[in-house]
Amino acid sequence: MPELPEVETTRRGIEPHLEGRLIKDLIVRQPKLRWPVPEALKGLVLGNRISSVSRRGKYLLLNLPNGAVMVHLGMSGSLYLVPADQPAGYHDHIDLILNSGMALRLTDPRRFGSVLWQPLGEAHELLSRLGPEPLSDDFTVDYLRQCCSGRKQAIKQFIMNSQVVVGVGNIYANEALFKAGIHPKRAAGNISLLRLSRLVDEIRTVLAKAIEQGGTTLKDFVGGDGQPGYFKQQLNVYGRGGESCHVCKSTLKEIRLGQRSTVYCPECQH
């Protein structure tokens, strides 16, 4: 599933091609995505100009004068800029036709993505309960300490909760906890302020580095410019269970937490 760096990479890739462009048409070939595409969506977007493309968590927002088109890539979705007359493939479900002669095309083989509408001045219910952005000033050690207080849940599952902080998916939770030296099963409420401070720093660092390098290439993901990400080359633990730790050479352990693969170093993480 594309995580925050992949979604941000896509946002940066498509925004220069969308900003200021007029929407001439909306073609919905398959409305049955994770949630049905709103029947009124075409009437809401037609003839409007895209002012910007923003991101909230893993949602991309195409901002219009009367609201925003909310796009989630799901597990296998991708957005491409293609000529508007380019024939659609079997998994090409939605085209947003622009006055530039190009189309923003959503391709989603598994159809777990979504295209929804957020009226101007309102927060869609899917966005209203999200926690702070991890790269924003709102995500601080004091905030995280307050959230963790008294919590017995494993810290890895805790930081992957989008109501605590958005966009820390499985890959980057594994990586940040390794860099912070924290065992993924440690109870969130049993971590010192100093170690939480380091965890906040490492979450910021690992996400920022991944964004700089275009996200992580895993199976279906490519950025909005059609180019894959390159952060996978720098992964310390994710996907490396049974291999040697880059730091201490111990064998990395792989377990399941919340039905997600979790890899850690038994010597470096406590």
- Which value, in Å, is the radius of gyration of the alpha carbons in the chain? 20
Average pLDDT, integer, range 190-213:
94
Residue 134 lies in a domain: no
On whether the CB atoms of residues 77 and 115 are closer than 8 A, the answer is no
Q: What is the domain extent for residue 41?
A: 4-128
Residues 113 and 152 in one domain: no
Residues 104 and 191 in one domain: no
Q: List the catalytic residues.
A: 2-3, 58, 260
Q: Tokens for 46? A: 């037609």
Out of 94, 128, 162, pick the residue that ends a domain: 128
Out of 105, 128, 151, pick the residue that ends a domain: 128
SS3 at position 171: helix
Out of 107, 128, 149, pick the residue that ends a domain: 128
* DSSP per-residue string spanning 63-132: EETTEEEEEE-TTT-EEEEEETTSPP-TTEEEEEEETTSEEEEEE-TT---EEEEEETT---HHHHT---
Identify the residue with better confidence: 133 or 10. Answer: 133
Average pLDDT, integer, range 125-140:
96
Residues 80 and 166 in one domain: no
Residue 105 pLDDT exceeds 50? yes
Lowest mean pLDDT among 157-161, 219-223, 240-244: 219-223
**Is the pTM of the predicted complex or chain greater than 0.85?**
yes
Q: Residue 72's domain is classified under what CATH number?
A: 3.20.190.10
Q: What share of the chain is helix, strand, coil (3-state, %, to 5)?
A: 30, 25, 50
pLDDT at 227: 60
Q: Is 240 annotated as a binding residue?
A: no
Residue 54 lies in a domain: yes
Residue 270 lies in a domain: no
The Cα–Cα gap between 30 and 111 comes to 9
Portion of the chain with pLDDT greater than 90, in percent: 82
Average pLDDT, integer, range 138-166:
97
Lowest mean pLDDT among 186-190, 202-206, 225-229: 225-229
DSSP 8-state class, residue 56: E
Number of domains observed in the structure of the chain: 2
Q: Is 195 annotated as a binding residue?
A: no
pLDDT at 148: 97
pLDDT in tens, 10-55: 899 899 999 999 999 999 999 999 999 999 999 999 999 999 999 9
Q: Is 91 annotated as a binding residue?
A: yes
pLDDT at 6: 85
Name the average pLDDT for the chain.
Answer: 92
pLDDT at 222: 54
